[in-house]
Amino acid sequence: MHPSRIIALSALCFVLAVHAGYSQKSAGRVGIGINVGETVSIGLAPVPMYGASFIYVVTPSIYTGVQLGLLSGSASGDDKVFDRVTAFEVSPYAKILFTPAKELSPFFKLNIAFINYNAKLPATNSDPESERNESYSSLWGTFGLSYALGKNVQVIGQVRFFDIGMSGKGKISQFGLGAPAVGIEVFF
């Protein structure tokens, strides 16, 4: 299926779900989240990002938000893909909880990720100083579990099952279980 059709179908499902449950009593809450382990591709290398989320509860089963990620560091060893990298991610998303009234709830999350990175590549004989500065976008689909620690705190674990490259150099798409991440969400 073409990525534009996936986006259109996802948007339609989101609008229908929001319309069906808009008057729920916990709608309108906001929250913040922190996650560890979400990966992005720097060249062909998956690199873990550390991020924060800003969340809006549309209904008890529909959340929207934006995820921000930042990575800055260096690598060592003979098989390193880069010497130094700085990356930034902005990723709006919609999340559907399948059993929102339960303590343990499975969920599906759909992100549109926009990533920019600058990487200094290891020197070679033919190219002593190489640097790559690129931007790309991807469509991410994630399944996970949310465990409620009371009314205002949720611990989440998730695994991405597709990553469809939409723009940028290479436009790489990946399918399968990958990019595991854990996090915590706090609601006000």
pTM beyond 0.85: no
CA distance 165 to 17: 26
CA distance 143 to 156: 10
User: What value does the mean pLDDT of the chain take?
Assistant: 78
**Model confidence over 61-116: pLDDT tens digits?**
999 999 998 887 776 555 566 667 788 889 999 999 998 878 999 999 999 999 88
Q: In which element (H, E) is residue 16 found?
A: helix 3-21
pLDDT at 102 (0 to 100):
84
Domains along the sequence of the chain with CATH: 3-187 (2.40.160.20)
CA distance 110 to 43: 23
Over range 14-36, report the average pLDDT.
62
CA distance 41 to 48: 9
pLDDT at 92 (0 to 100):
95
pLDDT at 25 (0 to 100):
44
**Model confidence over 47-62: pLDDT tens digits?**
677 889 999 999 999 9
Q: What radius of gyration, in Å, describes the C-alpha atoms of the chain?
A: 18
**Model confidence over 104-150: pLDDT tens digits?**
999 999 999 998 888 777 666 666 667 778 888 999 999 999 999 98
pLDDT at 94 (0 to 100):
96
